[in-house]
Amino acid sequence: MMIGVLAVQGAFAEHIKMLEILGVKSFEIRNKSDLTKHFDGIILPGVESTVQGKLLRELEMFDFLKEKIKHGLPVFGTCAGMILLAEKIENDNKEYFCTMNISVVRNGYGRQLGSFNTRGNFDGKEIPLVFIRAPYISSVRDNVEILTVCNGKITAARQNNMLATAFHPEVTNNLTVHKYFIEKMVK
């Protein structure tokens, strides 16, 4: 099994470390030539969705990744990664992959000062939830399974091959979300 981790910006090193702890091989996707390597799934890390979207287009990776995701490539998007997957961004007119039947609110909990840590349920387990300038899911449509709700807002969901979290499991020591992605989605 090989997981590609988008490494144009954001907490990609933290995701790679989590995969390493789980014994899963991974590599950084930094440019178009990296997409020629075999990978069984991809992680879209959090950071700034506008910049990630712009870089994906400039580096000529956007269309290829969108098609791969549409055709079943397992993908795990955290924070900005969730925004890239969302069908609609309620407070922004930008569009990215638009592959997941969710609407999101960018910076739903406010700016950097609105960042916080709490605990919540994911896959039947209580885990730490770290929100950094986090979005949230305002609505879901067909075939979307809600996985986590925090303070009345949807913060994790799955639709077929796509997993999205508003929080950052990669900055904790808890492997639950990464393990879920590997074991239940990538196999």
| Residues forming the active site | 79, 168, 170
Task: Look at phi and psi of residue 152 and say left if phi exceeds 0, alpha if psi is from -120 to 50, else beta.
Answer: left
With both helix axes pointing from N to C terminus, report the angle between 49-58 and 62-70 in degrees, rounded to the nearest 10.
Answer: 110
Q: How far apart are CA 119 and CA 76, in angstroms?
A: 20
Q: How far apart are CA 37 and CA 124, in angstroms?
A: 35
Encoded tokens for 134? 């986090």
